[in-house]
Structure 1
Amino acid sequence: MPQMMPLNWLMLFTFFFLLLFLLNMLNYYTISNKKLKDWSKKQVMSLLNWKW
Structure 2
Amino acid sequence: MPQLNPNPWFFIMLSSWLTYSLIIQPKLLSFVTSNPPSNKTTTTTNTTPWTWPWT
Normalized against structure 2, the TM-score is what?
0.40
Normalized against structure 1, the TM-score is what?
0.41
Name the structure with the higher helix share.
1
